[in-house]
Structure 1
Amino acid sequence: MTCTDAATGTYEYTLTGLDSYPYFKVIGNDKYWNEAQSLKPYDEINLNDLEEDLLNTANNYVWTVTGVTGVYDAAGGKEWAAGIVGGAMNNFTYKRIGGQYKVTVKGLGIDPINNNFFPMDADKGIIYIKLDEIVPGAERIDVYVSDNGVKLGIPDGTSDFDRVGIDGGYLEKSFNIVNGSGAQISLNGSPRVAISGDDAADFTVTQTPMSVVPSGNQTTFKIKFAPTTAGVKSALATIQYDTTNNLIFNLTGRGAEKVANPAFSLSGGESNVYTTAQSVEITSATAGAIIRYTTDWTIPSKTNGTLYTGALSISQTTTIKAIAYIDDTYLDSDVVEILYYFSPVFAMVDVPSGIFNMNDNYLVELSAFKMGKYEVTYELWYEVKTWATANDYTFANSGGMGYGGGNTSSNPVTYVNWRDCIVWCNAYTEYYNLTNDPDLTPVYWSDSGFTTLLKKSTNTGSVDTTPGSEDKPYVKWSADGFRLPTEAEWEYAARYQDGSSWTPTNYMSGASADCDDTGACGKVAWYSANSGSRTHNVGTKKPNQFGIYDMSGNVYEWCWDWYGELQSGVMDPVGPDDGSYRLIRGGGWGGDANDCRVDCRFDYYPWDSDRQLGFRLVRR
């Protein structure tokens, strides 16, 4: 123990390495700690001789233990402190500042029975301090009385229940009674775990320990903390065993008011489709609440997100996540998420040329191309189809506005077969040319001279192998008109990160973790776990590295290729020359996470349509 006498008159004493387990007793009379008054800087004293009163009824004495502060107030009659179980006390600081004394203690346990702190069992060297109350924001580490090898085990390391909401909130913890003695013990208290103290009603035993614990074994019990009012709560749990022995430990927690959830001034959701910039205010009904928000799909917290200072202006589809908080005496609000959806504007994303291992096993090289930022929406499908049917085009299917109820025209088109899609691509190329320069050249033709456009699709239930037919059109691959992606193009765009790194095959496109991680999957895809068994507006999830949306989930997407063996060592592969089924990729709203992996391949008859099946465009 050393004493440093500062010029200000402050005395500081630090005790370390107390392997002799000193005896400290709180008597509560008028004596000062006389040894402290007589010490000089760097004096040493025999700790085993310390049995002096640390309290002076004429002054206040402050005790601090890892953030827990107690005050002895002679007028109020309060005397409290706190501690941490540990073998010997490893740090003890005593300060005299003006008329006050401050004591900082670490490594101490609690004896809730006596008004003292001393080793209850000298050969175990545990030191105890009485605890009647803790201040707001206190952090505690659990304590227990250990006797004859019988100990309390706490699986998560603490019996502090931390903050729990007072409006129906609760927290349950497990405890073990560990019998390290050489004989069987009997828990003969009634009840076996007795909870006492002013706040005992807030703590409930929800699982009772066994009545007998053989040597070398343990039994488990559970306690639930469910406060009904705000503030610090404490109680004592007593377990009587072998009639005369008690295992006693402290229960603490805080009943906390929850900060009111953030509220948004503007209605959101997929059904509210905006076309012009909007102003959004975020508020909380709790006075003094601080709000943070994110727009990058990360979770806001006290340390993450932008501090809200005023109305936000948004002009494109945006997901805002917000949280409201005050300080540690309150529970933070829930994280509230809202989508503001703006009508999607058709756009193509540039995809650079490159070489990659398709399905990690087939090396291919691709020329640069453009890919649709979104799956083709019902709105765009219907607009083009309406023009096309007035200009000699025929479609087997009228197309569906998504599927499942609550759908809008910004949902992907569904119920279109492969034949419909390639005919529609030709129609869109011509329709696009009406208002855009220079003209694009259509891709799919009925003759080898590329003079007669393919304009008709049917639902005939067999493959027509006639050259130039709806199942085997002549394809002008050099043309820059709209078309379906090849399977290689689809996977390349789905997995691309930087040209040398690629999204792993067991991930969804754009995901930060594999398909076993529901959180990562839910950020990028609508699939069976979150879709509600329906399609959703395109572009509402997080895009991949190219800024392309919904490449995993929402709807499966038709590709050009016949289903068959993949090719390796090929430039711009287009798949087998013929087959029975066409490729679909990406998974849909009804598929599980693995269906939405970037490497999953599926097939479908070219004449069939489905509620989960749509398409996406590419062009040169």
Structure 2
Amino acid sequence: MNPDRPTSFAARSLARLDRLQWAAVVAIGVALGGGAGGAGFFLGEAPAWAIFWLALFAGIYWLGYTATPVFDERRPDVSPPRPRRVCDGELLMVDLPGGDFRMGSPASDDLARDDEKPQHQVTLAPFRMAVTPVTAELYREVMGQASTGDDPPVARLPATGVSWLDAVEFCNRLSVRAGYRPCYSRGLLGGWRCDWRADGYRLPTEAEWEYACRAGSTSRFCFGDDPAVLDAYAWYEGNAKGAAQPVATRRANAWGLYDMHGNVWEWCWDWYGSYSSRPARSPRGPIRWKFWAGTRVLRGGSFVNQPASLFVYPPALLRSADRFDGAPEYGHGHFGFRCVRVPPQHVDRSTH
């Protein structure tokens, strides 16, 4: 049972009251008790204090029973635990639980674009995600050169100007440094393929990214629907002054992940394409046979509004379901990425 939840009938009744209801209860209880006590005193039928307190508590109990609940009676007894943080090689990560969620935007959302629909059910296996985007400092250590937008790299700034191809190469090199089996390799036609059974670092799938960003929420942003709250969670056009900002300097979402809204657009594994309305299990995006054509998905928004969307309300670009895409060989100044990997207990070691 949840130790914070009242269990007795009387306790549940009293727990229903908010501050205004408590004020009303006390006022009515005092009035009823005072009237009854005064009558008892003058009529001599019962001790004044006994009738007073009896009427007072009766009023509190009755109003507590009929008041609108402050908490949801249907709330499960056990709240889901906050994901566990782990030091994984050179990255601080969180172990995210697998589960179901609604991916994309509902038809009723007037800020949603067509490529976010239809909203559909997705089931994901557990995975581990980095708490922040890859920093410029770590990028230079691993790759032996600064990312395009950071020369020299500044500690705690996200790596920027990174192409999808650069991000994939970084994941492989970081995996080798950590003693893991790299996920990515070249296919026969020159395109990259992913070994999903490997224990190395990789880019998140688009579904994994949105699931992690939402952190259990169903609203436009991880914190709700009000864009006025964005300043607390995101670096974006409204507060970043046109430049990337140090990671983890705004609030984290409910699962302890920073910069999921804003700062830099983050590359995902998936080729960009339309959604299906059918439920999906661990989707990895559309299959493309022409590896030299097409664009890859980016998520999260950035410190600047991209030129192609100058007429889009800027906060709309930072919504959990918003999508963007780019050619994998190009790394613009507001493109970055973060790493994920399979938790150790879920790694398939049959081919090691």
- TM-score, normalised relative to structure 2: 0.61
What does 1:351-366 align with in structure 2 at a 5 Å threshold?
Answer: 351-360=96-105, 361-366=119-124
Note closer, same or farther for the CA distance 1:426–1:588 as it changes in structure 2 (3 Å cut).
Answer: same
Does the 8 Å CA contact 2:271/2:294 hold for their aligned counterparts? yes
Return the match for 2:304 from 568, 590, 605.
590
Distance (whole Å) between structure 2 residues aligned to residue 491 and residue 571 of structure 1: 14
Does the 8 Å CA contact 2:149/2:333 hold for their aligned counterparts? no
Distance (whole Å) between structure 2 residues aligned to residue 598 and residue 484 of structure 1: 17
Tell me the residue number matched to 1:424.
170
Amino acid across the alignment from 2:95: D
Give the C-alpha shift of residue 408 in structure 1.
Answer: 2.1
Larger radius of gyration: 1
Tell me the residue number matched to 1:559.
268
Distance (whole Å) between structure 1 residues aligned to residue 103 and residue 243 of structure 2: 30
Does the 8 Å CA contact 2:203/2:338 hold for their aligned counterparts? yes
Corresponding pairs, count: 227
Does the 8 Å CA contact 1:486/1:573 hold for their aligned counterparts? yes
Amino acid across the alignment from 1:583: V
What does 1:117-516 align with in structure 2 at a 5 Å threshold?
Answer: 346-360=91-105, 361-386=119-144, 398-400=146-148, 402=150, 408-433=154-179, 440-447=180-187, 467=189, 469=190, 472-497=191-216, 502-504=217-219, 506-507=220-221, 509=222, 511-515=223-227
Tell me the residue number matched to 1:64.
none
Tell me the residue number matched to 1:610.
332
- Check if 1:521 corresponds to 2:230: yes
* RMSD of aligned alpha carbons: 1.9
Does the 8 Å CA contact 1:398/1:416 hold for their aligned counterparts? no
Amino acid across the alignment from 2:226: D
Does the 8 Å CA contact 2:295/2:325 hold for their aligned counterparts? yes
Distance (whole Å) between structure 2 residues aligned to residue 409 and residue 427 of structure 1: 20
Distance (whole Å) between structure 2 residues aligned to residue 594 and residue 402 of structure 1: 27
Return the match for 2:287 from 577, 584, 590.
577
**SS across alignment from 2:102:** strand
Note closer, same or farther for the CA distance 1:347–1:379 as it changes in structure 2 (3 Å cut).
Answer: same
Structure with higher helix content: 2
Distance (whole Å) between structure 1 residues aligned to residue 138 and residue 215 of structure 2: 27
**SS across alignment from 1:414:** coil
Distance (whole Å) between structure 2 residues aligned to residue 523 and residue 512 of structure 1: 12
**SS across alignment from 1:347:** strand
Distance (whole Å) between structure 2 residues aligned to residue 354 and residue 409 of structure 1: 35
Amino acid across the alignment from 1:358: M
Note closer, same or farther for the CA distance 1:524–1:402 as it changes in structure 2 (3 Å cut).
Answer: farther
Distance (whole Å) between structure 1 residues aligned to residue 137 and residue 287 of structure 2: 33
Does the 8 Å CA contact 2:139/2:146 hold for their aligned counterparts? no
Give the C-alpha shift of residue 400 in structure 1.
Answer: 3.5
Distance (whole Å) between structure 2 residues aligned to residue 512 and residue 566 of structure 1: 24
Distance (whole Å) between structure 2 residues aligned to residue 376 and residue 418 of structure 1: 13
Amino acid across the alignment from 2:175: T
Give the C-alpha shift of residue 480 in structure 1.
Answer: 1.5
Give the C-alpha shift of residue 512 in structure 1.
Answer: 4.3
**SS across alignment from 2:237:** coil
Amino acid across the alignment from 1:432: A
Give the C-alpha shift of residue 398 in structure 1.
Answer: 4.5
**SS across alignment from 1:491:** helix
After superposition, give the CA deviation of every residue in 1:495-538 in whole Å (9 maximum; x if it has no partner): 122xxxx231x22x3x34422x2xx1000000000001101110
Distance (whole Å) between structure 1 residues aligned to residue 211 and residue 136 of structure 2: 26
After superposition, give the CA deviation of every residue in 1:219-257 in whole Å (9 maximum; x if it has no partner): xxxxxxxxxxxxxxxxxxxxxxxxxxxxxxxxxxxxxxx
After superposition, give the CA deviation of every residue in 1:30-83 in whole Å (9 maximum; x if it has no partner): xxxxxxxxxxxxxxxxxxxxxxxxxxxxxxxxxxxxxxxxxxxxxxxxxxxxxx
Tell me the residue number matched to 2:73.
none
Note closer, same or farther for the CA distance 1:616–1:551 as it changes in structure 2 (3 Å cut).
Answer: same
4+ runs deviating over 2 angstroms = 400-403, 511-515
- Check if 1:600 corresponds to 2:322: yes
Which sections of structure 2, spanning at least 5 residues, go unmatched? 1-89, 106-118, 306-313, 343-352
Does the 8 Å CA contact 1:378/1:400 hold for their aligned counterparts? no
Does the 8 Å CA contact 1:399/1:413 hold for their aligned counterparts? yes
Distance (whole Å) between structure 2 residues aligned to residue 401 and residue 346 of structure 1: 21
Greater RCO (Cα-Cα under 8 Å, separation 6 or more): 2
Distance (whole Å) between structure 2 residues aligned to residue 473 and residue 346 of structure 1: 24
Tell me the residue number matched to 1:530.
239
Give the C-alpha shift of residue 566 in structure 1.
Answer: 2.0
Amino acid across the alignment from 2:281: M
After superposition, give the CA deviation of every residue in 1:261-293 in whole Å (9 maximum; x if it has no partner): xxxxxxxxxxxxxxxxxxxxxxxxxxxxxxxxx
Distance (whole Å) between structure 2 residues aligned to residue 379 and residue 402 of structure 1: 9
After superposition, give the CA deviation of every residue in 1:106-165 in whole Å (9 maximum; x if it has no partner): xxxxxxxxxxxxxxxxxxxxxxxxxxxxxxxxxxxxxxxxxxxxxxxxxxxxxxxxxxxx
Does the 8 Å CA contact 2:136/2:146 hold for their aligned counterparts? no
Tell me the residue number matched to 2:346.
none
Distance (whole Å) between structure 2 residues aligned to residue 540 and residue 359 of structure 1: 27
Note closer, same or farther for the CA distance 1:533–1:384 as it changes in structure 2 (3 Å cut).
Answer: same
**SS across alignment from 2:91:** coil
Tell me the residue number matched to 1:181.
none
